Structures are given as C-alpha cells and as structure tokens.
Structure 1
Amino acid sequence: MKGRVKSAVWPAAVLAVMALSAAGCGKTSEDARTQVRMVQYKPEAVKVFEELENEFNRTHEDIKLTIESPNDAMTVLKTMFVKEEIPDIVGIGGDINYSNFLDADMFMDISDYEGLSEVKEVYLEIDKNLEFVPLKGTYAVPYAGNAAGVLYNRTMFQENGWTIPTTWQEFLDLCERIKDQGQQPLYFGFKDTWTCLAPWNAMCADLAPADICARVNRGETVFKDAYRETAEKILKLIPYAQKDPYGYSYNDACTAFARGESAMYVIGSYAVPQIKSVNPDMDIDSFVFPAADEAEQNLLNSGIDLQFSVMKACENKEAAYEVLRFLQEDQNVQKYMDAQNAVPCKEGDFELPSMLDGMLPYIREGKMADYQDHYYPAEMTVDAMIQTYLMEGDPDAFLGKFDADWKRYNRDIIRKVKEFERDGEKEGGR
C-alpha cells in the first residue's frame, strides 16, 4: 500500500548476519555521551523526526540521538547488516519486513519496557499475528497506525442528503442512488496496481479472519474458501467506477476526487495530503468500508504504519529505552500525528484529523483488523493478481492461483510452521 514499504527478497548474506554484533548503544563519542542511532523507514516524515531528534538532544545531557531517514530504508538497512553497521533502533512498519526481521532473530525482546502498557492492545495483537511462528516476548513498540476505508466528499453528501451506509446492501443502494442522480459514485486508480489492494484490504477486514494467512500456513483452511466472499463482492464495485479504471493512476484518482468527479474514493487516509494538494479547501470525511451484511461485523482496516524495535546488537538497552520513553511522551506522539495524519497506537486523548471523524468510534473501541497484504510476500505480486482478476472476473481462477502461488512463495514459512507444530513451543519459541 502507499506509504508502506513492500517486502524484498532477503538474501542469505543478510540472514547470516543475525548473530553478528556491531557498534551500537553504549559507544561514546568525543563529547562522552552515549550514542543512540536510529534508522526509520519513512522519508516523508524526515522533518518531524529532525524536530524530535533536536528536542531529545536538547533535553538529554547523557545521550546523543541520531535519526537517519533514508530513501528505500529496507534496502539500506539490509546493506548495513551485511557491513555490520547495525543501528540501535529501527523504525519500520508492521508488515512482512518486520516478520522477516523477527525470523532473522535481529530484534531484542523488550517485554520489560514499561511503555508497552500504554499501547492499545489491538496493535500488540497485530504484531503477534505477524510472527511466522509464535515467539515468546515482545519485539516492537507500535507507535502510529493508519486507517483505510472510504473517503467521501462531505459537502456533496450534505447537499444531496446521502447517508453513511453501514451494511453491504446499504452501500450498494447508495452507489445506485448516486448513479441514478447522474453523478459518479466511485473513482479508482487501478493503473497503479497497488491501489487495487485498498478495497481488497478494507473488505477483507470485515469478511476474512485477521489471522487467515497463519491458518492457511497451518493447513487449517485455504484461500479459495476464506477469500470467496471478498472476491465476489469486490467485483460489484466496478460498475460504479469510472469507465476503464485501469487506465487511470493513483494521482489521477486523487485529482478526480479532489475536483468533485466522484462522491467517494476507496483508499486510505494517507491519500488525503495528495487530494488536498489539488483542492486545499475540500471537506473530506471517511467511513469504515461496510462489506459485511450486518453492521456489527464491520471492522476498521488499520495497521501499524510505524513502530520501533531495539536491535539485539544494542549494547545499552537503557539508553534505547530512554529514547522510546521520549518518543512516547504525549506531546511527541501528537506532534507526529499532526505531521503525518496518523492514528496513535498509544492509549490517550489525542486530537485526530477531521477526515477520520467517521472512523473515531472504531479507533476508540479498538475495532480494527490489519491489512491482509502485510502478510503477502512481494514475489506473489498480489496487487497485480487482483487487477487481472477485476478485469477478467473469474473468481475460481483467481482463488485457485492465489492458493497455488501462496504455497510456492511461502514454502519455507509453511515448513517452519509445520516444524513448530510438530516440535511444540520448546523448539519454536525464543
């Protein structure tokens, strides 16, 4: 998804460094302060991290924090590992890259970090679901989440008296009503295949178990069954989109929505800055995608956009924990949320952007489910698979390929899961 780095193949050389130690926390420079080096993966957040770095160093005499925000951070990090230049803390997303780090045994168990008690339980559960096999301990502090569903033009809705749908049938009825009034219900930018994951993920949050990928790895079910309803329902969105949605890009879709060419846009909150760059005065709100037949079954599609992990190579855990404490201070959480239009993973009364008004009840109650694509290996190119499926409309062929490709690209993980199931927690846990 946009704003979240997709996984890359982990070369053997990278995995081989998992036992290596490197210069880390505890090393001192000429000014005799303990040095803490962080690498975070969101280059679009470089400005707010510069502010946080400066404030930390201004208020801490015994620790010097350096935060790096490189482009293509996952590639940079893997290169650092090969060169034995492992940082002390990494800021990454809650996706398969995190899973790969865990699998390589690169992270420190931070179960004794007191700040974990301030994190919403749902985000801690999301992290546990990202473990290929169950691990003892906790390996990240979820910091910022995101939210995806349906963005809508609040002015257009108010002028036409349209109401927010809460069930799948109500959503279809709304699309039909908008279409009957001579207006465009939806706009898609499916030329950029990653945008095909936006409706897919949002609908799966309601219709598929959050841990479906783990269940498939354990041999308990298959995607042909678990994803059937999502696959059949997502096809029904296409008649309500513009002609040839595969000929328009993400930028095209953002621009069209900003100009009032559609009432709704199925995408994440991360698209709002792009939309506002076209129409700064646009009044945007959002609602949870109502893919379920019963309103009570709907969940907000929300994942961990940023979290912090301490590397095993860090020699001064307490210095790293002091950095985490600073980042978790309410004023610093709010500063990051304001800069990135993000959802806080920390419990508390934080001010959220107005475009999330319609999702607030779900955020406050923790009624959320992770993005399914956080579990997909990049080699599967699921986004392109969905695009092809939407054009061809054959659910049996699509789901059959999904199951076949999953076995092909996840065979090593499936083997590890089977070994864990056979040997039990004694062998599989750390």
Structure 2
Amino acid sequence: MFHLKQVRAKALSAALAAALLTSCAAPPAEDEVTLSFFQFKPEAVKEFAGLIDEFEAANPGIRVLQNNVPDPDTAIRTLLVKNKTPDVLTLNGNASFGLLARACVFADLSQEPAARDVLPAVQDILNANGRCSGSEINGLPMANNASGVLYNPELFAKYGVSVPRTWDELIAAAETFKANGVAPFYMTLKDAWTTSPALVNLAAQLQPEGFFDRLTAAGADRNNSPVSFSKNYQEVADKLLQLFHYAQPGAAGVDYATGNKAFADGKSAMYLNGSFAVPAIRAANPDARIASFPYPVTNNPGNVTVVSGVDVVLAMGRDTPHRAEAQKFINFLMSKDVIDKYAKNQSAFAPIRSAAPQQDTALRGLASYFTSGKVDGYMDHRLPPSIPLVNITQQFVLDGDKSRYLNTLDNEWFKVAARMPNRGDQQ
C-alpha cells in the first residue's frame, strides 16, 4: 500500500520554495479566503491566470494563488510530506495520480454537480488508475487528449490514398507512400516517450479483457499468473515493430520538436501522435495541414477505439479547511463555458456531456469515437511509475528483440509486485 510517509522528498529547495510561493501582492483582507492552487501544466499558466481573474471577479471573497513548478510530480510529493496539501490541484490523470488517489490524498467529489456531467467512459478511465475507495471520485476530468494517427490530407489526396479503416489498409497506405518516395511516418526515436502512442493504441485493442486487473490480482506469483506480457503482448510487439519499420532514415537521432516541424512542413504522410501534438505542429507551421483518424489495429473496423487520457484532472485536498470555497472554484472550472474555452485553446477534448462539438479540423476524425464512448485508457497509466516503459520500448524498436522486450516488461512488473504483495487491493 502506498504511504505518504514513504514518499521521498526529492525536490531541490528551490523547487519547494517555488511550490510554496504565495504572492508578492498585497495580503488578503481578514474576511478573504485564500486558496492554494497547484497547477502542473506550464503551457497553461496564462490560461489559468485568466480563469482565476474571472473567478475572483465573480467571487470577491475568494482569492486563488496559482503555483506552477518545473517538476510537478516531485513537488506535489514534497508538499504532501510537509503536510501542505493544496486546496485545489490540477494533475495529469496517470499512474502517479492513481497512487495518490489510492492513498486518500484527495477529497471525494462524487456529490459535486459537475460530476454528473462527466462522460461516464472518461470517468471510468480515470477511476481505473486508482481511487480511495470503490465508490469515491477523487478527481474530475477537465480536459482529455486523444491518441490517433495524424495525417496530411493533401498528400493522401495526391497519391489517391483513402483513410485506412483496417490494419491491412494502414500498411497498404504506408507501402504506397514509400513506393512514391514519401515517408509514411515521421519517427522521433531520440525521445523515448514517442514510441508510446503507437504502443498504447495497439495494446488497447489487442490485450485481453481485464488484462491489468488480472495481472494485478496475481500479485507476485508470476508462474501462475493467467496473463503476462510474454503471453499476451506477442501481436502488440509484432505490429509495433512493423510500424517502426517505416521510420525515415536517421530516425534514431531525431527528437520530438524536429518531428513536429517536419510533419508540419509536409515531410511525411502520417505522424504517430495525437491531439497533444497539434499545438506544437501549428506553432512550427501555422499553415500545416492536419487531419486525424483512429488506429485501425485489427481488420475489423468495428473494433476501433480511441485511446484517451485525462490530460487535466481537478482534485481537492481531502482535509482542506476551505472546502466550500474549493468546491466553488472546481465547479467554476468544470462549467461548460470554461471547459469549451479551455478545450479550444489547448486543442483538447471536452470530457463533459454538455460540451460544444469538437470544431478543430485536426481532431474531427477522432471526435465521434470520443463522444460516443468508444475510448480506452492508456495502458502505461496502469503501470507503476517505477517501470521505465518508454526506455524499454525505445530499445525494442531499435533492436527488434521481441523476446527480451516482453520478458523485461514481465520482470519489471513482477519485481514491483514482489515489493507490494497487497497490490491487488489497490485497484
């Protein structure tokens, strides 16, 4: 079981000082409540500053102080060790969030009015990463990403390629572009994490139902586990390697920023990324032609789903002394107008029923899957943060050693399970 006392204070003193920074502004009035707001996304600081101004104008008795630090995962753990849990937090809805939720760091928000507007499939994805108890909701999704294949519609039209709906059609499209001297995909293997978008989409549609729940329930008993990476990820690994077979020359030395620029400039037909890459691509070239489609992992179009993660989770400190004010701020951030505006500005998906339809042309190919609930969570959000998945996967696509890749994943998983014999109780 995860215990806060076991969290190591890794942050440098400068990071801690930044995290605890209040303000250089005038001190609050006696009857004014000040909320500490831990906000993890550096690219959204300005966005949230504007929202805070709007909230404070409508709520003159509440002041919100936004804290943003370079290393949020370390900073939040440091704050928890110091018993300084923020009143309101934004975090990424990943495995680290799940660990903290299972440790009962966050308040139960299941009775908040905003909780009733969240798309059920999205809330399920977040809950699966971890929560304090089986009935609690410890975080509300404010914004989601969606992982799919980005493509250049001009190049597709030029070479007469239709949007692939099956795996065979995807490979045929790649072969067509290759035969015409066009890079099918632009790969950025210098940054290990960029192998993940393809991996998580393949795994979502190919792994057996309940894979991680069954793996977790096995505990440290590797020999008798009904599932494992070696048993169940053979096709995932084969298809991952097949995709990276189409990498452009020199891909091992290319980083993500270079890939964004190359795709923006039309140097490949497709890009194995998702909504999170769209703002960076447009920053590299505002005139970039971008469209999207979900990964067709099998030859049955009916199996297609979109992998989506909660990019921004709103949470509340469980023991905040300002519960009413924190609730009011969270409900403001979860309002339709705020979420619609944030999703538009950040090229995100709005995870609430009342949201406006997705208007971004780059994301339109994924939108219907998201709103209809044909979504899966990121498999890497179900792995303990201590498992270096992206580095292991990067090595695999470079050396092609499937047996070593899958055995390494099993070894890493069961090492963690051996240290945490009650891990099955945490899901």
Alignment of 1:343-354 (within 5 A): 343-352=349-358, 353-354=360-361
1:249 to 251, 255, 263: 255
Cα separation, 2, equivalents of 1:372 and 1:262: 27
Cα separation, 2, equivalents of 1:10 and 1:210: 32
Structure 2 counterpart of 1:261: 267
Cα separation, 2, equivalents of 1:354 and 1:371: 24
* Matched-pair identity in %: 28
SS in 2 for 1:233: helix
Name the amino acid aligned to 1:12.
Q
1:406 to 413, 418, 422: 413
Alignment of 1:165-314 (within 5 A): 165-209=164-208, 211-219=210-218, 220-314=226-320
Cα separation, 2, equivalents of 1:256 and 1:137: 45
Q: Does 221-230 or 201-210 show the bigger shift?
A: 201-210
Name the amino acid aligned to 1:384.
N
Shift of residue 158 of structure 1? Answer: 2.1
Shift of residue 11 of structure 1? Answer: 6.8
**Unaligned residue ranges in structure 2 (runs of 5+):** 10-26, 219-225
Alignment of 1:25-424 (within 5 A): 29-131=28-130, 135-209=134-208, 211-219=210-218, 220-352=226-358, 353-413=360-420, 415-418=421-424, 420=425
Shift of residue 396 of structure 1? Answer: 2.0
Cα separation, 2, equivalents of 1:14 and 1:86: 15
- Decide whether aligned partners of structure 1 residues 172 and 165 sit closer, same or farther in structure 2, where only a CA change above 3 A counts: same
Name the amino acid aligned to 2:382.
Y
**Unaligned residue ranges in structure 1 (runs of 5+):** 1-8, 16-27, 421-427
SS in 1 for 2:46: helix
Shift of residue 287 of structure 1? Answer: 0.6
- Which digits, 9 at most, give the CA deviation of each residue in 1:236-257, with x for residues without a partner? 1133221242121112211221
- The root-mean-square deviation of aligned C-alpha atoms, in Å, is 2.3
SS in 1 for 2:150: strand
Contact 2:229 2:409 survives alignment (8 Å): yes
Contact 1:132 1:417 survives alignment (8 Å): no
- Which digits, 9 at most, give the CA deviation of each residue in 1:177-210, with x for residues without a partner? 1112221111100111111112111222221257
Structure 1 counterpart of 2:23: none
- Decide whether aligned partners of structure 1 residues 201 and 13 sit closer, same or farther in structure 2, where only a CA change above 3 A counts: closer
Contact 1:210 1:369 survives alignment (8 Å): no
Shift of residue 380 of structure 1? Answer: 1.9
Shift of residue 164 of structure 1? Answer: 0.4
- Which digits, 9 at most, give the CA deviation of each residue in 1:99-139, with x for residues without a partner? 12123221112222121110000111112211288633111
Contact 1:128 1:134 survives alignment (8 Å): no
Query: Number of matched residues?
Result: 401
Structure 2 counterpart of 1:18: none
Cα separation, 2, equivalents of 1:390 and 1:85: 42
Name the amino acid aligned to 1:392.
D
Cα separation, 1, equivalents of 2:404 and 2:82: 44
Name the amino acid aligned to 2:130.
E
Cα separation, 1, equivalents of 2:132 and 2:318: 19
Structure 2 counterpart of 1:21: none
Cα separation, 2, equivalents of 1:133 and 1:290: 35
Shift of residue 150 of structure 1? Answer: 0.6
SS in 2 for 1:348: coil
Shift of residue 162 of structure 1? Answer: 1.3
- Displacement over 6 Å in runs of 4+: none
Cα separation, 1, equivalents of 2:250 and 2:210: 34
Name the amino acid aligned to 1:38.
F
Contact 1:129 1:211 survives alignment (8 Å): no
Contact 2:143 2:351 survives alignment (8 Å): yes
Cα separation, 1, equivalents of 2:363 and 2:209: 22
- Decide whether aligned partners of structure 1 residues 35 and 271 sit closer, same or farther in structure 2, where only a CA change above 3 A counts: same
Name the amino acid aligned to 1:123.
V
- Which digits, 9 at most, give the CA deviation of each residue in 1:122-177, with x for residues without a partner? 11111221128863311111110001111101121122221100111110111111
Cα separation, 2, equivalents of 1:262 and 1:99: 37
SS in 2 for 1:101: helix
- Which digits, 9 at most, give the CA deviation of each residue in 1:364-417, with x for residues without a partner? 21111111111223332111111111122222221111111111134344x224
Contact 1:198 1:268 survives alignment (8 Å): yes
Contact 1:210 1:372 survives alignment (8 Å): no
Shift of residue 351 of structure 1? Answer: 4.4
Contact 1:34 1:62 survives alignment (8 Å): yes
